[in-house]
Structure 1
Amino acid sequence: MNTNFEDLISRSTAIRKKYHELEIQHHGSEWTTSEDALAFLTDAALVGRNIMSQQQRWPKSNSDAALEHKIGESIWWLIVLANRSGIDVNEAMENFLSKTEKLLEK
């Protein structure tokens, strides 16, 4: 499946809104942006742990499906965090890629 990035952003935002509803239902308030950032860091750490497991550098065996899920979830969190911080993720990526390409041309 080849989904465009705008569709991924839209779907990510819709999913986050549904999670906000659950947070209000269970805790009386939505998570803050800081709490979202902490959740992202937790999932990003699990990407690292799952990579170590996949490369047989960690004793626990995790499936490639678990790694794929955590990578997808981490990208989702980055889209959510950019949105909540008022950052256009497309622009952020373009700026990063352009700057890095120019640095590497030297």
Structure 2
Amino acid sequence: MMSINFEQLKERSLVIRKRYHELERIHHESEWTVEEDALAFLTDAGLVGRHVMSQQGRWPKENTEEELKHKIGESIWWLTILAERMDINIGEATESFLTKTEKLFEK
């Protein structure tokens, strides 16, 4: 499987988000707000936690490996969408975080 760069991640994510916005207008007569997107992300992030517990044998559900992979990918997608909607460059934000955190461990 090939890897994806931040620009591809952003472009593909925006296309998918546009399609979801179309469905939201059909079903709710308006697009979700940034706050609603954030809540959807938090819901999926919580499911990542539950699937991790299951994978590690700490929650009584089996066969969650594919669901875990899906929810991790979906969480990255949501973070990309949230960053874009708030005019934050996800690549720059990630680079800044990594650089700042690496410097903490150089001491």
Percent identity of paired positions between Structure 1 and Structure 2: 67
1:103 aligns with 2:88: no
Counterparts of 1:19-98 in structure 2, within 5 Å, are 19-98=20-99
For 1:75, the aligned partner's letter is I
Shift, 1:8, TM fit: 1.1
Secondary structure of the residue that 1:105 maps to in structure 2? coil
Shift, 1:67, TM fit: 0.3
In structure 1, C-alpha distance between the alignment counterparts of 2:63 and 2:31, rounded to whole Å:
31
Scaled by the length of structure 2, the TM-score of the pair is: 0.96
For 1:16, the aligned partner's letter is R
The corresponding residue for 2:7 is: 6
Unaligned runs of 5+ in 2: none
Shift, 1:5, TM fit: 2.0
Mapped contact 1:50–1:62 kept (Cα < 8 A) = no
Query: What is the number of residues matched between the two proteins?
Result: 106
Mapped contact 1:46–1:70 kept (Cα < 8 A) = yes
Runs of 4+ with deviation above 4 angstroms: none
Unaligned runs of 5+ in 1: none
Shift, 1:60, TM fit: 1.8
Shift, 1:61, TM fit: 1.9
